[in-house]
Chains A and B, each alone.
Chain A
């Protein structure tokens, strides 16, 4: 999740307040953020994806000053009419169809504001704009631009001087040779022509969504700017534009509208209108378990920068939402804002008057009972990872590969399949414990995954029980004794034990377990070759039973 870096002085100046760092540390998380760290007067805050408006110093100061009762209530922003116009070439329709824009005049740029805007732009790109794929924002020195502008596409050989470069690059080389080009080239993959913004003098303003041209670069001397956002989704672009435009407006700059001409359709941006949502008072109180009055709700909403329209009737509030808030989709979002304003920790717990009967899943009850029985046999329980690899599951067991659940994008080869048996997990435990005292008698009741096309998920989670006994005297009789003791305690007498040959057991010293003609488990003495494979130097006898199946059989009887 995105983090922003802010200094105490900047936040205080914009909030019109005099907070200490400790106060910020205490209260900022309560508006919905996470305090990461601080160095001197500078602190790092993690923000959540639902509030991109707080990704700038200005937006955060705005939200926080309301929350702390310094300047509460709905804030209105106005963009003045103008003659600025951007024409959209139909060629962009299939690539990145939307552009929105706003002009900001009388900007008092200083180092702090430039940093804040650059940080905001970057963080919006990473989150709200989905790494520029969905939306990308450009900011230009207005005085270097001649209107009307054109949003179009141009060939890969088109030349311009990219931001912070001192020579011309073709579009193609910009993608190959600049850092931003390399980072985002993927978005333009397989395109014949690249989207760009040009002015009426045919000057390239930017290669979209990669880099602006160097000659429209913002400096401390810049006074007027143009902001544009191109996108695959218009709403996303409008939201991003509002968030940036309002940040400038908080510095008393003037906003001007820009006409977007799609040929068949014309729109004007930004849209800084307040939006409205109706919320019933009863709904709020029911969800929160409170008894707030309309007036109390109004105060709480104001602390979150929201308002109530005069059209609100007794039981139904018409809540006014400022143009920079992008997260309010449902009246429940308003309820959350009210709860945050009241502060979560101020709510008293209410013991619910719900009488329900607790109930465990029977397989879990069975698991617990058998776990306790195995511990009674003196075995140490282990809990191991379900993810594994073919080397452990097959090669080290001297056995052939079987089809099993495999991961498409594992970060490490060590964990790239889902195990289909427990034995290798237990052998691994023994292998890691050769320096410890023997006997090492261990068991696990754990889950594995079996492929099964009859199931909705083409697989099923199966529980298994495995035991490994490792000490100098262990043998077939001992492990068989463990099995028979288990069955005795489960009241299971109808089972048969038959000779079994498997590559991971010593020949003639392994058996399978059948119930009603179905094989549900096997046991025996582990083959010394397998022990060598795992660097275990003590005999091991093992047992593995399909625990889910055993449970089913017992429930049928």
Chain B
């Protein structure tokens, strides 16, 4: 199909030059293949560029045998030649090719008579032929243009010397649309652009075939971020925009940093609550400086120098060394506070930190529980920070995640006061969703780690829950099952979160 339109323009050009009306044969003489012209005519006619006229006539042409007869003579002519001027010949004297066929034909035409002893004698008609051509011979010579007697024609056909062929003659004439097409200078319509067209500037002369834009196409398999990474990148940006620095640390940590440093008593239900995964290998880790460990121990036992009563129990050093998989990334906040000790001395506060990391709970994996999930922690450390600023950061964070209505419910965590459970209103589901805990770190946490009781805002909401709600998943495991079909078809988090 791509070839036809190209040739069609050429056909049209020739037609114009031939005066606007011409036989196909005339166009063929200009050097175009018959088949290409016929395809072009089909196209041009369909598009009303030309009008086509067809006529038919009977045509007789020489068969292979006919052509031989023209070249070598008809069998009867050969026989007459074989008589060599005599009137009478015996069979043995006749030295010609295909003598049998020649004799049979001559007899049929009454050119010879057969005598006794296999002798053949020319008849009157036979003699007449010696110096004159037969009607058949004349007809064969002029077969292509001459008018031929019906009986001769019949005879030639019967003898297989000629055959009948119906000839179709096509004549075409240019129509106004065709003239218009030529005027525009467009020489062809193409399907696809190629380098040759670009290089030659011939694209200026072509017309691009229009597509049916509604035709279905195959959706390609592409590379894509996982929905969790997608959300993590989004959340990291929120904190970075608000001027938070990133904190990192180990997933496998000691009880000390995950619980003790956060003033969680070693026998407190809060520790049962979190269903910790304890390590067999490595079983125990090393604790930080004695000064720090003692400060934490004193805070637990008596309050130490934090002006608290403490929990009032005997703190177990060995238990604090126990290795576990962190149940929250708040362990990173604790580690960061300890590192900020020198900044307090050097007056480098305030400071703001965030983290996004994997956390672990000893759950049984089911539709609403994961053993591993993610949490984003944040702390703001500074003499001037307060509860109203705390509310500002969290409201802003959740607004950026697409939740305009945020509320705070009093809650309980051993390491915070003004402990709150953050709830956001889901505009579609029309209900409040719990998204995680937050508060201001207690002096029993801050003083031992930082060396000074300075207000610290702290939070640690998770976000698998948000993903579950936004993607309307009925099974939280779907976030981690990596079904490639689902991954390929899943809407981007960035697009989802703005709805």
Contact = CB atoms under 8 A, between A and B. Distances in A.
A437 B418 CA distance: 52
Interface residues of B, number: 100
A458 B273 CA distance: 26
Interface in B214-228: 221-226, 228
A354 to B, nearest CB: 5
B88 interface: no
A290 to B, nearest CB: 7
A501 B339 CA distance: 45
Interface in A322-350: 329-333, 335-336, 339-340, 344-345, 347-350
A: contact size bracket: 35 or more
B250 A330 contact: no
Given A406-B279, A407-B280, A375 B455 contact: no
Contacts of B245: 356-359
Given A352-B392, A377-B223, A436-B484, A330 B307 contact: yes
Contacts of A461: 250-252
Interface stretch (A220-228, A378-386, A528-536): A378-386
B400 to A, nearest CB: 14
Given A336-B419, A344-B408, A358-B239, A381 B226 contact: yes
A453 B284 CA distance: 11
Nearest to B270: A49
Contacts of A352: 380, 384-385, 389, 392-393
Contact of B482 (A51, A233, A290, A383): A383
A386 B371 CA distance: 10
A79 interface: no
Nearest to A382: B482
Interface in B470-492: 480-485, 487-488
Given A381-B226, A409-B278, A361 B248 contact: yes
A47 B274 CA distance: 16
B475 to A, nearest CB: 15
A363 B248 contact: yes
Contact of B280 (A130, A350, A406, A436): A406
A32 B385 contact: no
Contact of A289 (B224, B246, B388, B481): B388
Contact of A233 (B268, B312, B455): B312
A217 to B, nearest CB: 29
Contacts of A289: 386-389
A48 interface: yes
Nearest to B351: A356
A386 B252 CA distance: 11
Contacts of A50: 412
Given A385-B372, A407-B278, A330 B444 contact: yes
A352 to B, nearest CB: 4
Contacts of B418: 287-288, 335-336, 339, 344
11 contacts: A130-B269, A288-B386, A288-B387, A289-B386, A290-B388, A329-B310, A347-B387, A354-B384, A361-B247, A368-B233, A440-B484
Interface of A: 1, 29-32, 34, 48-51, 127, 130, 134, 233, 235, 286-290, 329-333, 335-336, 339-340, 344-345, 347-361, 363-364, 368, 371, 374-387, 403-412, 414-415, 418, 429, 432-433, 436-437, 439-442, 447, 449, 451, 453, 455-461
